[in-house]
Structure 1
Amino acid sequence: MSSIGHLLGSFLGLDRVNTNFTYTLVYRGCSKVIPHQEFRLYLLIPAAISTILLAFSTRRTKQKLHLLNGRPGLVFPMDVMKRSHRFSYAAAFGTLAQLCATIVFDAKHAFNYDGPAYLKVFIALVSMLIYGMGYFPLFAGISVGSPMGYLVATLFSWVFTAEFFANSFCTQEMVISYLILIIGVLPEMLCYLYLTFSLPVRFVLSIAKPVKKTKLAVDFESSEDLYESIRKSYQGIHVTKLFKRPPPPPSPPDGAKEKLIFLLKSLPGKVFYNNTKGFRYSARLVSVMTVGFILLYEFTFLLFIVFYQLFDIAEQGLIANLDVVRRETVTGEDPSTTILRDTLNISYYLVIAFRGCFLTSLMVALAINVVFLLHYMASYKYNLLLLYKGNNEHLTPRALKSNASLIVGSMRYAGYQVGYIGWGFFIQFLLLLVISIAIATIVTLWDVIKDLILQQFMIIWPVLITSLVLNILQLVLSKFLFLQENGDILAMDNRRLFFIFTYFMFFYNIFIGIFSCLMRIIKAIILGALFLPRLDHSTLPKKFQRMDPGFDAYCGFMHVESTHTNPVAMVFISILQAESLTALKRKEKKILNIVLRVDEYQEMLAKKRRKARWKWLLAYTLVNNPEISLQRRLVLAKERNENIKEIFFSRSSSFTVKSTKLDLEDVIIQSERL
């Protein structure tokens, strides 16, 4: 940029104008406090240590679980099939927007390389590995969801936030104010601040309340609670809607006013985002859209600041030269001075016009791409819901692609989408700029080139009018003369007249075909550039869509999403898990009851054994000691008499004393017999 400024200044003679673009044109204001390459390289050491710690805090799920209690486990940065932690992942990917911009537009590497050119591709691969490894603990910490994971993610988010603020708001002297700097990096700054404050809160909450397993894996009070959790999930809500009768379609509007109001109300839902109960966007899609929006925003802001100042310097230079030459014509001046003045005046008006064209094209390109991002989310939901129903008419059918190619497309999708958004925006901006500059040039130089334009128009307008009239004539004759019932049915009428008219139109349509061919080329260029950022629409014909790498990646992504996130399949699997866990719970209870019964039986047997052993020892003692046996009988008889007396005297209100004595003697006799 500094070289461009010096060249422009020398061309316009800007000796008194500051052409130092080092601080003026770079909206960040100054050189980086923390160097990019050194920071990425030094970050590898704590990133590797943190990844090892996260691995040892996670257990393996399949292989060699007995070894080291199943540790270390394999940690991953992001579950691309889940819908949880969407905003955290989106903010984490949002912090990568600046890095993505340097990769897309600058191809910046993680370290300097001055060797052979054919080895640069390997340097790029190593750089991508370094970039990914540096950010790996941040994403892996969010995915693990444990106190250790949130601690690691918090520390790395603080490091990245400090690096961002240090390089964005450095202490050197700046021409641009801090307010403009904040506006320029506002979306990215919000992502950093969200991670800075949300991750510590999650860390504290994870310590206070340990992370639980899924509801299907924890203990539950009843099976009804388990099924209720399935019903309240977004998959359960979607499946519940399938069993409900859809509401009747609204009656079509009658008048033109009602039709216009209905169209305006339905337009935002078709073009922009509309909420659908029971549907969630995937964390991967939300993250990609976030990176794309931040990329568009910051790139637009950078171009706006840079070129606005560039045009301002050019305008000041032209004004300075006009002041030197004088703005008004002086009698007797040199003709070369008059030509120079006219050239400077035309250049001045062209610079003003080009500045308006540039800013307008930039804003229009940004608006188009933002609308495309919103419409892309609506298109994603529409296509995914169709795939859930087995309808893949918009995409390449799954039967025409192998499963491996679908997985490859799913892996490519996120990177392709970000790259297509960046370069698609740039190409759209250039196309709009060329068109607007052409219009501005014609308007500015109208007095000079109007004769040429009018001369060409006088040659072309009969062709345009004749083509328009004949096209309308063909349509009217086909509807009212060559078809029966005014074109309501495809049945020919006046066949001979139709054959005559077709014969003579053959020769004229040759000339019309030339103009139509040019229009087809122009339409292909405009539509190709317009839909270049969107991967959900192929820029190639339907039979050649598989040759479109972006659309092919989108098809793979959508098919994999549909297969692994189908709500019907997910609810069915959840019900099977619930049934399995319910049956397991019942089996555990049954086994527990059996164990309790066995324990009671064993305790009863042990009591009987103790009683039999005591009786045997007692009998052995009494046999060997006859005196003890006699004394024991007397004691036992006395105890029985006392017990019986207490029982009968407690019921004295029902018996007389005489009967009580007789009964008492009978009871004593019966007890001795027993």
Structure 2
Amino acid sequence: METTSETVTETCQAPYERSFYYILSLSIIVTALLSLLQKRKRLWPGRFDGRPGIIYPVNLLDDRRNRLAYAAAFVLASTGPVTELTLEILFGESGSSNPFVRVAYRILKVLMYSLYYYPLFAAVTMKSIVTFAIGMAYSFILLGLDIADIFSCNKDREDLTYEFLFELPVLICLLYLAAIFSYKFVKAIMKTVRTRKLEIKVEEQAFDEYQLRHLRMLLLSGRRLQEMSVVEDTDDSIGRLGRIKQILRRFYRPRQGFKYSTRLISTMVVSITAVYIILLMLILIWQYLFGPILELSELFSAHTMYVLEVCWKLSLAIGFLIFVFTIPLILQGYRENMLSVFKGDHSLVAAVAENTSFSITPAMRVVSASRYAGFQVAYAVFGFLIHFTVLFAITGFMSLAILNPDILKSIASWAWPVLLIGLAITLVQYLLARFVFLQDRGRVFALDNRRLFHNCSFFAFLYNIYLGFFSSLMRLFKGVFFGALLFPRLDHSVLPRAVERFDPGFRAYVGFLQLENAHTHPVLVSFCRLLLLSRQVDDKEVTKGEGPINATTEDAQGASKSTGHDRCRSLPRNRWFLAFTLIRNPGLQQLRHSRDRRPRPRDEDFDIDQIVIEGIGSTMS
């Protein structure tokens, strides 16, 4: 931060800036030490006890745990680059005059910010007492530097207030991470004392809770699901808290068995933080830039300047509220699209379907998915700026029109005859179509009085050309309006369906959906994990010698008999499961083969009763 006096210009360097490269060096050393504590799995696992290994900061694909901790860390890592980039755009370039050098410096600076906060992500991912201690110490160090940065350089009261508001998201995230790491560090100490075992590894669960709930809801009948929703709505309607929940559910309704990914939650939190920073910057721009310039130019009176300032701040507030209410719509749209894709229904997002004109290579799908988070943050910021600009133009024009009634009179004198004639022509056409040209006063879509209809169509041809000019303006206005309104939402393309492949934001969203569907489908993941668990159980039984291989002859014979008996008992049960599966999934009936292994014709109906009869016969036998 720089403070300028009349005689001497001094540069005040905050503690954060002075210690940046020291903390960066410390983070690189900590990252290297953590890699020494992780073992390799494939490349020379026998050398140096398999160390060092490759660590990763965050699993953005299929890990749904610690989402808020990751989101807080992403806020810390993205606040610096977003602030610096915004300041450079608003107040000009700094550093070298060569554009290639400036771009290379920005890329290097982003890499330094990523390495700067890398230990925080690794501490969340590598769950052990050592990593929790590192994360706790790192969080408290950054928190102390941030607090010292706020009160440095002898700021006055107003500058101190704005500095605190700018650093508020960073302070909240650092406090949250410090509390989380402290809690987990104490919990890890207690666990280490009980088990007397210290390990550094990434914990993996056999099943996630949301996946089990999703599978349970798939197996429940529609009537049972309806009863559960009725009971849930009844419970929420009791008490004052239930009324608040009902009001909130008008904007967003949660669903059991679904959990948003870490990538999406982190993206939404970073988007809100970035828009919040831009909001504060725009307030300062009016206070220290636009306001003084307009006052010196003497284009407006003091009263008009006050009105424009109110319009500026009101537009910022309304634009920020619009963005805040857009967040649950983005989440709800993603959830509906994801659940539909899980079912194989591509009606909401037809581009996700295979073999379409939108289909792209697997490599580009991965690239598009990796772009989604960054694109969403950037589109959210630009969408907020577009909303603010449009709102300020509207409110400013209306305010100036109210202060100067002559503007409204001139616009009304030109516009009202055009609007009146257009409405009259449209009303006459509607009345003729309903009461003259359609049968039964418009209740039946069948023409009547065709000769009169042909005459009216002839005379209306030229009138409709006249109306078409104004309709084209309305179409352009509506396209701009809804395009600006939906600009922050990547789940809706601002281009028509035929050319939506040229929308880079929507393309990134489609790639994100395709990657999520391919690697996080609850049924597919649960099925694969069941296979892995069953294989692990079989390997353990063979290793312990519990099978018929290491048993005596009598035990082997008894085991074989019991195995055959269990197999006979499980056969009817498996047939019942097969019948239930085919009844609930009619699409699988066409893929079913007969006993002679010959494929069944696709147009032949599958006899589901035959399976039930076979199951009953096997049960009775």
Q: Which TM bucket (shorter chain)?
A: 0.7 to 0.9
Q: 2:484 aligns with which of 512, 521, 529?
A: 529
Per-residue deviation, residues 551-607 of structure 1 (Å, max 9, x unmatched):
111111111112211111122122212222232333334348976979xxxxxxxxx
Task: Confirm or deny that 1:478 pairs with 2:433.
Answer: yes
Shift of 1:423: 1.8
Secondary structure in structure 1 of the residue aligned to 2:117: helix
Q: Which residue of 1 aligns with 2:601?
A: none
Residues 501 and 112 of structure 1, relative CA distance in 2, 3 Å threshold:
closer
Determine the C-alpha separation between the residues in 2 that align with 1:384 and 1:58. 35
8 Å contact from structure 1 (residues 40, 131) kept in 2? no
Task: Confirm or deny that 1:561 pairs with 2:516.
Answer: yes
8 Å contact from structure 2 (residues 333, 491) kept in 1? yes
Secondary structure in structure 1 of the residue aligned to 2:491: coil
Q: Which residue of 1 aligns with 2:211?
A: 235
Deviates more, 1:274-283 or 1:496-505: 496-505
Q: Which residue of 1 aligns with 2:118?
A: 136
Shift of 1:112: 6.9
Q: Which residue of 2 aligns with 1:436?
A: 395
Q: Which residue of 2 aligns with 1:284?
A: 263
Residues 68 and 481 of structure 1, relative CA distance in 2, 3 Å threshold:
farther
Residues 91 and 286 of structure 1, relative CA distance in 2, 3 Å threshold:
same
Per-residue deviation, residues 593-639 of structure 1 (Å, max 9, x unmatched):
976979xxxxxxxxxxxxxxxxxxxxxxxxxxxxxxxxxxxxxxxxx
Shift of 1:309: 7.0
Task: Confirm or deny that 1:386 pairs with 2:336.
Answer: no
8 Å contact from structure 1 (residues 409, 552) kept in 2? yes
Q: Which residue of 2 aligns with 1:300?
A: 279
Per-residue deviation, residues 256-312 of structure 1 (Å, max 9, x unmatched):
xxxxxxxx9988546x33221111111111111111112222332343355357788
Q: Which residue of 2 aligns with 1:244?
A: 220
Secondary structure in structure 1 of the residue aligned to 2:525: helix
Residues 196 and 33 of structure 1, relative CA distance in 2, 3 Å threshold:
same
TM-score (norm 2): 0.75
Shift of 1:31: 5.5
Secondary structure in structure 2 of the residue aligned to 1:560: helix
Residues 121 and 455 of structure 1, relative CA distance in 2, 3 Å threshold:
closer
8 Å contact from structure 2 (residues 16, 145) kept in 1? no
8 Å contact from structure 1 (residues 387, 562) kept in 2? yes
Residues 352 and 590 of structure 1, relative CA distance in 2, 3 Å threshold:
same
Per-residue deviation, residues 492-541 of structure 1 (Å, max 9, x unmatched):
33333222222211101112111122222222222222222221111111
Q: Which residue of 2 aligns with 1:90?
A: 71
8 Å contact from structure 1 (residues 216, 577) kept in 2? no
8 Å contact from structure 2 (residues 267, 377) kept in 1? yes
Map residues 188-267 of structure 1 onto 2, 5 A cutoff: 188-209=170-191, 230=207, 233-247=209-223
8 Å contact from structure 2 (residues 40, 53) kept in 1? yes
Q: Which residue of 2 aligns with 1:416?
A: 375
Q: 2:80 aligns with which of 99, 109, 115?
A: 99
Q: 2:101 aligns with which of 97, 113, 119?
A: 119
Determine the C-alpha separation between the residues in 2 that align with 1:596 and 1:204. 48
Q: Which residue of 2 aligns with 1:174?
A: 156
Per-residue deviation, residues 329-373 of structure 1 (Å, max 9, x unmatched):
xxxxxxxxxxx9xx89x6112111101111110100000001111
Shift of 1:467: 1.0
Determine the C-alpha separation between the residues in 2 that align with 1:149 and 1:35. 24
Q: Which residue of 2 aligns with 1:43?
A: 23
Shift of 1:414: 0.9
Determine the C-alpha separation between the residues in 1 that align with 2:444 and 2:247. 32
In structure 1, the gaps of 5 or more residues are 7-17, 23-29, 218-228, 252-263, 319-339, 599-674
Shift of 1:148: 2.9
8 Å contact from structure 1 (residues 96, 291) kept in 2? no
Secondary structure in structure 1 of the residue aligned to 2:494: coil
Q: Which residue of 2 aligns with 1:508?
A: 463
Aligned residue pairs: how many?
Answer: 520
Determine the C-alpha separation between the residues in 2 that align with 1:347 and 1:444. 11
8 Å contact from structure 1 (residues 40, 130) kept in 2? no
Task: Confirm or deny that 1:546 pairs with 2:546.
Answer: no
Task: Confirm or deny that 1:403 pairs with 2:382.
Answer: no
Q: Read off the aligned partner of 2:137 and give its amino acid letter.
A: L
Residues 167 and 487 of structure 1, relative CA distance in 2, 3 Å threshold:
farther
Q: Read off the aligned partner of 2:512 and give its amino acid letter.
A: F
Q: Which residue of 2 aligns with 1:54?
A: 34
Determine the C-alpha separation between the residues in 2 that align with 1:382 and 1:50. 42
By relative contact order (CA 8 Å, sep 6+), the higher-ranking structure is 1
Q: Note the aligned Cα RMSD (angstroms).
A: 3.7
Q: 1:160 aligns with which of 132, 142, 148?
A: 142
Q: Read off the aligned partner of 2:399 and give its amino acid letter.
A: A
Per-residue deviation, residues 372-431 of structure 1 (Å, max 9, x unmatched):
112111111111111111122333234222211111111111111111111221122112
Task: Confirm or deny that 1:274 pairs with 2:253.
Answer: yes
Q: Read off the aligned partner of 2:218 and give its amino acid letter.
A: L
In structure 2, the gaps of 5 or more residues are 193-198, 231-243, 554-621
8 Å contact from structure 2 (residues 136, 177) kept in 1? yes
Map residues 558-637 of structure 1 onto 2, 5 A cutoff: 558-591=513-546
8 Å contact from structure 2 (residues 125, 202) kept in 1? no
Shift of 1:57: 1.2
Secondary structure in structure 2 of the residue aligned to 1:391: coil
Determine the C-alpha separation between the residues in 1 that align with 2:60 and 2:455. 63
Determine the C-alpha separation between the residues in 2 that align with 1:458 and 1:214. 73
Secondary structure in structure 1 of the residue aligned to 2:49: helix
Determine the C-alpha separation between the residues in 1 that align with 2:27 and 2:454. 78
Determine the C-alpha separation between the residues in 2 that align with 1:507 and 1:461. 21
Secondary structure in structure 2 of the residue aligned to 1:491: strand
Q: Which residue of 1 aligns with 2:331?
A: 377
Task: Confirm or deny that 1:427 pairs with 2:386.
Answer: yes
Shift of 1:191: 0.9
Secondary structure in structure 1 of the residue aligned to 2:222: coil
Shift of 1:196: 1.4
Residues 142 and 301 of structure 1, relative CA distance in 2, 3 Å threshold:
same
Determine the C-alpha separation between the residues in 1 that align with 2:336 and 2:453. 44
Counting aligned pairs with the same residue, the percent is 30
8 Å contact from structure 1 (residues 54, 141) kept in 2? no
Q: Read off the aligned partner of 2:67 and give its amino acid letter.
A: R
Q: Read off the aligned partner of 2:181 and give its amino acid letter.
A: L
Residues 311 and 124 of structure 1, relative CA distance in 2, 3 Å threshold:
closer
8 Å contact from structure 2 (residues 495, 503) kept in 1? yes
Residues 298 and 126 of structure 1, relative CA distance in 2, 3 Å threshold:
closer
8 Å contact from structure 2 (residues 271, 381) kept in 1? yes
TM-score (norm 1): 0.69
Determine the C-alpha separation between the residues in 2 that align with 1:434 and 1:112. 31
Shift of 1:189: 1.6
Residues 100 and 498 of structure 1, relative CA distance in 2, 3 Å threshold:
farther
Shift of 1:457: 2.3
Residues 33 and 382 of structure 1, relative CA distance in 2, 3 Å threshold:
same
Map residues 657-668 of structure 1 onto 2, 5 A cutoff: none
Determine the C-alpha separation between the residues in 1 that align with 2:82 and 2:543. 57
